[in-house]
Amino acid sequence: MQKNDFNKWNVLRNNTEMAEDFYRSMDDSHVAILAYSDVAANMSGEELRTYGHQSEDMIISCTWQGMACSPE
């Protein structure tokens, strides 16, 4: 059985009619999401943790089984 190396997202990286139609129909937020996805895909796990949301910035309070807890 022959391995299929086709990746549908590679089509959008090339200057093709399909790519042009795809990008023409998108607004700025879609373009930003794709740009971030491309950058994030090439980051290490440590970089993603560093640049991503920090739990201590998002968790206001925490209890578990009636006891106070921390973001860790």
Residues 32-59 have pLDDT tens digits of 888 888 888 888 988 888 888 888 788 8
Q: How confident is the model at residue 29 (pLDDT cuts 50, 70, 90)?
A: confident
| Whether this model's pTM surpasses 0.75 | no
Question: Are 32 and 39 in contact, with CB atoms under 8 Å apart?
Answer: no
Query: Three-state SS for 52?
Result: coil
Query: Three-state SS for 16?
Result: coil
Question: Are 63 and 69 in contact, with CB atoms under 8 Å apart?
Answer: yes
